[in-house]
Chains A and B, each alone.
Chain A
Amino acid sequence: MATDVIMPQMGESIAEGTIVKWIKKVGDEVKRDEPLFEISTDKVDAEIPSPTAGVLVEILATEGQTVPINTVVARIDAVGSKPPAPPAPKTEDPKPISAPPTVVAQTPVVSVAVAPPQPVAPPVAESISQPVEAVEKRSSPLVRKIARENSVNINEIDGTGLAGRVTKNDILSHVTNKETVRVSVPAVTIPQPVASVAVVTPPQVALVQPVATQPSLVVPPFVAPIMETYRPGDRVEIVSMSPMRKKISEHMVASRRISAHVQSFFEIDMTKIAKLRDQYKDKFLERHGVKLTFTPFIMKAVVDALGAWPIMNASVEGDNIIYKKDINLGIAVALDWGLIVPVVKNAEERNLVGLTRAMNDLAARARKKQLKPDEVQGGTFTITNPGVFGSLFGTPIINQPQVAIMGVGTIEKRLSVMEDDSVAIRTKSYFSISFDHRVVDGAVADQFMSQVKRILENFEASEIG
């Protein structure tokens, strides 16, 4: 009796996931809970464990394929069973919706993913596929690659090759002409092939939604990026983005378009925190089993200041400002393969020990790709730490739909002039705040930051616990 492996729902808002990698191959034996495949969703990258022990007998969704949640992506059977025979050739069924469930299960997943679940399927399917095929130009792998890299629709090009084939020279001269045209004429979005309309992914929808409800003045018109043309033989290596890279790229550009970013900087004296840390770190490790770092102190200060300045812990929806009652602190964690922002939920309910524990746990699991989708969602304010690599201060991009993000610069000893005109060596750091000027004014952001500064510079030992 085979067990179905489904695309799990990685968070409430998630409708589909992309198979990044199959860790097991067909015929491999798997243990229960052994990692089976890697997925990437809008929210999180994760390894999906096997639901049962047995042999992976069938893989129904290939690497790179995006399928709706709960789609069967593989089957696991008891040890000793053989992969099933290939599915019997399908007869053209005019009503695929009414097909019995067993047939649906054997249908290649791609059609499940693309076919819209509409009862009027047959006429729609025809009208989608026919025009595309009718105008499809013949072309070589090289031409298709050049088209992809330059966002060119091959069908727009007159082919001079055999039977109207689009040749390398055809597309290269087309691309060169287009480059020159682009300078003088406003960019025109190229209509996508009809087939891709059915596969619009939720991430795009999610990003577009808040924009759509905004007054139009917020969003500048889309400008096509300027692209260089690379020809075979050029000394470049072209690598397609990982799903995570693509999400970061989309989110960052969208955030810059959505929010009116303004930055402000504060120099904060961390001498007292550094001393407290030195004084308590051994005891802290002994008592709580975790290392005492600067981060929880900073988190604690931010949580307290956010309590006093609720607009910094808000988001914008259309003409409304949503004040968040919970403080869910996102902490940016740099990974070898990108960046992720796990969220410490209800940070206002935690003391320094609780914040340290939560942070260490999330960061460790982020590096092992073991974060749960819920743990990267719902953040209300984000802290990032460019200082960890020595940066003096960063100007971070807001993590939408939040309205502010705080950056911590490197913490180092500096020469300081004290209030009594004496010169002293103090442990200091530049903190930056990026805030959304649509709803946060400079005065508010700066008062928030000066409160963070005040808390950090006057931290009491009794709070360490």
Chain B
Amino acid sequence: MAVVTYLEAIRQALSEEMQRDENVFLLGEDIGVYGGAFKVTEGLYEKFGSQRVIDTPISESAIVGAACGAAMMGMRPVAEIQFIDFISCAFDQLTNYAAKSRYRQGIGIPIVVRGPCGGGGRGGPFHSQNVESFFLNTPGLKMVEPATAYDAKGLLKAAIRDEDPVLYFEHKFLYRRIKEDIPDDDYIVPIGKAKVRREGRDISVITYGAMVHVALEAAEKLQHEGIDLEVVDLRSLLPYDKEAILNSVVKTSKVILLHEATRIGGYAGELAAVIAEEVFDCLDGPIVRVTAPDTPVPYSPPLEDFFLPNAEKLMKAARQLAAY
């Protein structure tokens, strides 16, 4: 056991998987000699060499396209998108090619496309986005977003070993802000399994990524007001753990869906629909969303603070719902 940051946990997973399986290799912009924009891959070029840690031209389309081709030839590529915002340049490779290959030609494409997502870093509109709902409507893709160092390592290992394309979103705000004592040895966190981070009686908060910590902070504060939040960390967004979500909602009868991404067409809409469809008569109040407003992520620090969901906003929504 050793205390590592979220970022170090990701690096550990990459290093261990490359050691375990020589078909695993990395490609991306500045990930080799420079060690990556956030230094996630630092040291791996020295350890595994230029054949397995490949610096690419600035073309996300080429990075993901090359990864798909390599995967079809039996490799296990892990592609880094320097900022996940730019994954849109590889949208076609992911949605039309990688996601459909198993269905079209019976050949799975076991790639991992990973990259930093999320705001709070004063990155502005091109370097702060959360892109999960762009891909939500694409059967064939898997998506995960860890909230802890333990999950960061376990989910990345599970993603690399998965037979299908997995988008791995790592929240850049968490990179060096959270630390955890995690096992040195091999373990995975299975894709598709949520985790209840905090048991509670009154309201279920279903969330993922950095917002898990916002929810836990709000839960801690609301406890003094007699409102007991349950916090469910989805960990996997596609497929998502419907059973865990519904169990929690049935238990508390009230639910808040919390995400950092913007509201319209956001991930919470899907969860709201499935809750309304399956456990409508267990609801004792409206399904509530707490999300960012429908605008690009602002560059101005005060505006970004206003934009992002935080514990205060969640507490306000929780108080209203508790009183309903």
The residues of A with any CB-CB pair to B shorter than 8 Å are 140-145, 161-162, 165, 167-168, 232-233
Query: A142-B253, A232-B250, A232-B253 known; A162 and B324 CB under 8 Å?
Result: yes
User: Is A165 in contact with B281, judged by CB distance below 8 angstroms?
Assistant: no
User: How many whole Å from A286's CB to the nearest CB in chain B?
Assistant: 57
In the complex, chain A residues whose CB is within 8 Å of the CB of B247: 233
Query: A161-B324, A165-B324, A167-B324 known; A141 and B280 CB under 8 Å?
Result: yes
Nearest B residue to A139, CB-CB:
B284
User: Is B250 in contact with A233, judged by CB distance below 8 angstroms?
Assistant: yes
User: How many whole Å from A293's CB to the nearest CB in chain B?
Assistant: 47
User: Is B324 in contact with A142, judged by CB distance below 8 angstroms?
Assistant: no
In the complex, chain A residues whose CB is within 8 Å of the CB of B324: 140, 161-162, 165, 167
Q: Is B283 an interface residue (CB 8 A)?
A: yes
User: Is A141 in contact with B283, judged by CB distance below 8 angstroms?
Assistant: yes
Query: A161-B323, A161-B324 known; A142 and B284 CB under 8 Å?
Result: yes
Q: Is B70 an interface residue (CB 8 A)?
A: no
User: Is B285 in contact with A140, judged by CB distance below 8 angstroms?
Assistant: yes
User: Is B251 in contact with A232, judged by CB distance below 8 angstroms?
Assistant: yes
User: Is A168 in contact with B323, judged by CB distance below 8 angstroms?
Assistant: no
User: Is A140 in contact with B250, judged by CB distance below 8 angstroms?
Assistant: no
In the complex, chain B residues whose CB is within 8 Å of the CB of A141: 280-283
User: Is A232 in contact with B282, judged by CB distance below 8 angstroms?
Assistant: yes
> What CA separation (Å) do A142 and B285 show in the bound complex?
9
In the complex, chain A residues whose CB is within 8 Å of the CB of B323: 161-162
User: How many whole Å from B205's CB to the nearest CB in chain A?
Assistant: 17
User: How many whole Å from B213's CB to the nearest CB in chain A?
Assistant: 27
In the complex, chain B residues whose CB is within 8 Å of the CB of A140: 253, 283-285, 324
Please, could you name 18 A-B residue pairs with CB atoms under 8 Å apart, sorted by A?
Answer: A140-B253, A140-B283, A140-B285, A141-B281, A141-B282, A141-B283, A142-B281, A142-B282, A143-B284, A161-B324, A162-B323, A162-B324, A165-B324, A167-B284, A168-B253, A232-B250, A232-B282, A233-B247
In the complex, chain A residues whose CB is within 8 Å of the CB of B281: 141-142, 144-145
Q: Which 4 A-B pairs have the closest CB atoms?
A: A168-B284, A145-B281, A141-B281, A142-B284
In the complex, chain B residues whose CB is within 8 Å of the CB of A165: 324
> What CA separation (Å) do A17 and B285 show in the bound complex?
36
Interface residues on B, range: 10 to 19
In the complex, chain A residues whose CB is within 8 Å of the CB of B250: 232-233
In the complex, chain A residues whose CB is within 8 Å of the CB of B251: 232-233
In the complex, chain B residues whose CB is within 8 Å of the CB of A168: 253, 284
Nearest B residue to A168, CB-CB:
B284
User: How many whole Å from B324's CB to the nearest CB in chain A?
Assistant: 5
User: How many whole Å from B308's CB to the nearest CB in chain A?
Assistant: 28
New A-B contacts (20) at CB < 8 Å, excluding given A140-B253, A140-B283, A142-B283: A140-B284, A140-B324, A141-B280, A141-B281, A141-B283, A142-B281, A143-B284, A144-B281, A145-B281, A145-B282, A161-B323, A161-B324, A162-B324, A165-B324, A167-B284, A168-B284, A232-B250, A232-B282, A233-B247, A233-B251
Tell me which residues from 221 to 251 in chain B have a Cβ below 8 Å from any Cβ of chain A: 247, 250-251
Nearest B residue to A161, CB-CB:
B324
User: How many whole Å from A142's CB to the nearest CB in chain B?
Assistant: 4
> What CA separation (Å) do A145 and B279 show in the bound complex?
11
In the complex, chain B residues whose CB is within 8 Å of the CB of A143: 284
> What CA separation (Å) do A409 and B104 show in the bound complex?
61
> What CA separation (Å) do A15 and B80 show in the bound complex?
71
In the complex, chain B residues whose CB is within 8 Å of the CB of A162: 323-324
User: How many whole Å from B200's CB to the nearest CB in chain A?
Assistant: 13
In the complex, chain B residues whose CB is within 8 Å of the CB of A145: 281-282
User: How many whole Å from B34's CB to the nearest CB in chain A?
Assistant: 52
> What CA separation (Å) do A142 and B252 show in the bound complex?
11
Nearest B residue to A166, CB-CB:
B284
Nearest A residue to B248, CB-CB:
A233
> What CA separation (Å) do A140 and B250 show in the bound complex?
13
> What CA separation (Å) do A232 and B251 show in the bound complex?
6
- Chain A proximity mask over B283-297: 1 for CB below 8 Å, otherwise 0: 111000000000000
In the complex, chain B residues whose CB is within 8 Å of the CB of A144: 281
> What CA separation (Å) do A143 and B247 show in the bound complex?
18
User: How many whole Å from A238's CB to the nearest CB in chain B?
Assistant: 10
User: How many whole Å from B60's CB to the nearest CB in chain A?
Assistant: 45
User: How many whole Å from B320's CB to the nearest CB in chain A?
Assistant: 8
Nearest B residue to A167, CB-CB:
B284
Nearest B residue to A144, CB-CB:
B281
> What CA separation (Å) do A161 and B285 show in the bound complex?
10
In the complex, chain A residues whose CB is within 8 Å of the CB of B285: 140
In the complex, chain B residues whose CB is within 8 Å of the CB of A232: 250-251, 253, 282
> What CA separation (Å) do A167 and B283 show in the bound complex?
10
In the complex, chain A residues whose CB is within 8 Å of the CB of B284: 140, 142-143, 167-168
User: How many whole Å from A160's CB to the nearest CB in chain B?
Assistant: 9
> What CA separation (Å) do A79 and B250 show in the bound complex?
46
